[in-house]
Amino acid sequence: MRQLSSLPGWAVLVGALTLGSGLARAAEHITLANGFDLTCDHRETVGDRVRLYLSASNTDFVEVNPTDISASEHVDLPVVNETAGAAPAAPLKTIDLKEMLSAAGEAHDLDSDLLAAVVRQESGGNVHAVSRTGARGLMQLMPGTAAQMGVNDAFAPRENVNGGTAYLDAMLRRYHDNLALALAAYNAGPAAVDRWHGIPPYRETRAYVARVIHEFNRRVDARRRQLASAKTAAAVAVVERP
């Protein structure tokens, strides 16, 4: 298991763009001068401001100055395929989630307890979680990130976990296995981390990094205690054997 370094302890603006399997539709991935990222369904100039619409409707938008937009690129987002009368998906079993995290961790040489800590902070294990910023699924993938990671359905548990793990791995490699910086980039985007040359001074991001690392450490400590207890029990059993 690769060793990760840390530092002491995305606020991303994205609307409700639903992911699912199907044909792709055009959108824009926009980077703002403050380091934030968002996925824009369409835009409109109103006076000296630009409205970035976060969904197909004209009611959900962010208004910025034209100079606030530092970069824009085309992205293709999957279109939802809704099946009338479809039964709701069965809840994900803990044992199934553990298997997914273990497999994804093994594929990327990451501790499954780290992935479990991210999942707990991101979604609390809710497969259908959608944040106020539009992130989706177990590891709360933004539409643009999901597209980059080849995730067609962010609500499909295994796809989400594989995509989220791949993205976290990419952030760890980008920041030379510095866990705190990688988590900050996972939450706030790498542009923000690069702009601030470290963890951005966003309260949400700093709290996120601290909570994930705390949960990861808690899980590792619990695993060590469990292993030590098992060894002690085994040793006692040998001594008491007639």
Q: Which residues pair with 24 in a beta bridge?
A: 78
Helix-strand-coil split of the chain, %, nearest 5: 45, 15, 40
> Distance between CA 222 and CA 218 in Å, rounded?
6
Concatenating the DSSP letter of every residue in 142-205 gives -HHHHHHTT-S-TTSHHHHHHHHHHHHHHHHHHTTTBHHHHHHHHHH-HHHHHHHTSS-S-HHH
156: closest CA among 173, 139, 168? 139
**Number of Cβ atoms within 10 Å of the Cβ of 185:** 27
The span from the CA of 22 to the CA of 178, in Å, is 37
Q: Is 122 a catalytic residue?
A: yes
Exposed/middle/buried for 79, CB within 10 Å: 0-12, 13-18, 19+? middle
Of 28, 63, 82, 122, the active-site residue reads 122
User: Which residues are catalytically annotated?
Assistant: 122
